[in-house]
Amino acid sequence: MRYRIIIAILLITILVLGCMNKEIKCIMEEALSGGYSKKDFHICMNFGCKNKIKLSFSKDEWNMILSLFSRPYEDAQSERHRIAEAIGEMEKIVSKKIHISQRLISWKILFNSEWNQMDCIDETFNTITYLKLLEKEGILKFHRISGVAYRGYFLDCLPHYCATITELGSGKRFAVDSYFYGNGSPPAILPLDLWLSCWYPKGNNGYGGKK
């Protein structure tokens, strides 16, 4: 009897996750469609993209973001560093617009009902949006956006999403994960294979610099 109950719970869990995955897929497809601009885009928040907020970057804000790419660089690793810096700056600007003073990170959000928090689904949608805005500007020389990555089936690690980019030439994919750090911090950018192995940050930001 006990095993039947366990099996029933597992089946219900699988069905619920299946419905959630369909909804999440629609959310991510919207982000990847790129049907927006720096003057008109949305960000997700409040867990699973429960709320979308329409925003824009001013000319001065956008020029400041682009200035991060003005310093000469000649390789993909340097560009990844600049991408991380740019996403961090966009987060800072957006946070002021929507009045987020401090974002809770990682598992802490599970035990907090505070409005204006973001889970990994929100973070992934927003990161893709920021990446798409950079891509539309035509300043990414060594990378293209390559969709969403998923990991975690409870047996290995908890379910988790992130944005990904692909290095042109080598074809190597990299995870771009903003979830583990405080608001406005550069995201971790690391090889996708490492991220898929249930990588978790330990004292650095994923591209070599200490937090």
Alpha carbon distances (Å) from 51 to 112, 125, 138: 17, 12, 29
Angle, helices 76-98/120-137, rounded to nearest 10 degrees: 120
CA nearest neighbour of 161 among 176, 145, 183, 143: 176
Q: Answer whether residue 109 is part of any domain.
A: yes
The pLDDT assigned to 11 comes to 42
For residue 48, the enclosing domain spans: 2-196
Cα radius of gyration (the chain): 18
Q: Sorting pLDDT into bands at 50, 70 and 90, what band is 115? A: low
Q: Answer whether residue 8 is part of any domain.
A: yes
The pLDDT assigned to 3 comes to 58
CA nearest neighbour of 178 among 109, 136, 135, 118: 118
Q: Answer whether residue 141 is part of any domain.
A: yes
Q: Answer whether residue 211 is part of any domain.
A: no
Sequence letter at residue 74 = E
**DSSP class of 69:** G
pLDDT tens string 53-76: 999 999 999 999 999 999 999 999
Which position has the token pair 């009902």?
A: 113
Q: Answer whether residue 209 is part of any domain.
A: no
Distance CA 65, CA 59 (A): 10
pLDDT tens string 140-180: 999 999 999 999 876 668 889 999 999 999 999 999 999 98
Q: Answer whether residue 204 is part of any domain.
A: no
Q: Answer whether residue 163 is part of any domain.
A: yes
Q: Answer whether residue 123 is part of any domain.
A: yes
Number of structural domains (the chain) is 1
